[in-house]
Amino acid sequence: MASRSYVVSASTTETPRKRYPGGAKGFVEEMRFVAMKLHTKEQANEGEKEVKQPEEHSVPKWEPSIDGYLKFLVDSKLVYDTLESIIDKAAFPIYAEFRNTGLERSEKLAKDLQWFEEQGYAIPEPSSPGITYAEYLKEISDKDPQAFICHFYNTYFAHSAGGRMIGKKVAQQILNNRELEFYKWDGDLSQLLQNVRDKLNKVAESWTRDEKNHCLEETEKSFKHSGEILRLILS
């Protein structure tokens, strides 16, 4: 079978226009490219990071506990409450584009926590990883829309990918396969995600290259905060 070959022009006499991986497909693809590299190989095939924290091992190796999972759900709810109220308030007009996308998780998590309560579990107060992340999101949302949009993208899209794998695994291991509302969307999830990708691409079209780079650079912080919250599952 003939293999496709690509010729890359590498002339040294002209200044090459810098290419950004994924950029030809739109800015979301650039954000995705940066995010995928920050996964470990155990988390996702495209990952490149070395495993250093417990949640960076492959999900099938996890030994979750209900107490840890509840802490994770409570802190996740605080983060989604915060993201969704920032979008509602829309300190920058672009945030208003992301109202009612169908990806919102706050009400779903409220239902799940109510269910756990009805089963007799004590619902913990939010803990430091969630509180710290929520404070950070509030702080940047008022002054740095590019950074905020990076967290918005990573949080909702991570949940639709690795988040769902985690939900399935934890349900099998400790919830008798009960599927939580957190992992259910009203409507076709891939269509909802595509609608948000289209809006993100449109918003980023008006950004300068420096603003785009600033947004991409924020991805590491998003992984750091979300990683700390994920780690609660294994606590």
Examine residue 154 and tell whether it contacts ligand HEM (CB under 6 A).
Answer: yes
Each residue 180-209 as x (binds ligand HEM by CB under 6 A) or -, in order, gives -------------x----------------
Cα-only R_g, the chain: 19
Could you give the CA distance from residue 31 to residue 115 in angstroms, rounded to a whole number? 35
Examine residue 222 and tell whether it contacts ligand HEM (CB under 6 A).
Answer: yes
Residue 146 vs 154, nearer CB to ligand HEM = 154
Examine residue 71 and tell whether it contacts ligand HEM (CB under 6 A).
Answer: no
Examine residue 170 and tell whether it contacts ligand HEM (CB under 6 A).
Answer: no
Examine residue 162 and tell whether it contacts ligand HEM (CB under 6 A).
Answer: yes
- Angle 114-129-81 (CA atoms, 0-180°, nearest 5)? 45
Of 69-77, 113-121, 152-160, 177-185, the window that binds ligand HEM (rule: CB under 6 A) is: 152-160
Examine residue 82 and tell whether it contacts ligand HEM (CB under 6 A).
Answer: no
Choose among 105, 109, 112: nearest CA to 87: 105
DSSP 3: P
Tell me the sheet residues that pair with 40.
Answer: 49
Other CB atoms within 10 A of residue 231 CB: 17
40 by DSSP, 3-state: which? strand
Examine residue 87 and tell whether it contacts ligand HEM (CB under 6 A).
Answer: no
Dihedral sign, CA of 217, 219, 222, 228?
A: negative
Which stretches of the chain bind ligand HEM, using CB under 6 A? 32, 35, 39, 43-44, 55, 59, 154, 157-158, 161-162, 165-166, 193, 222-223, 226-227, 230
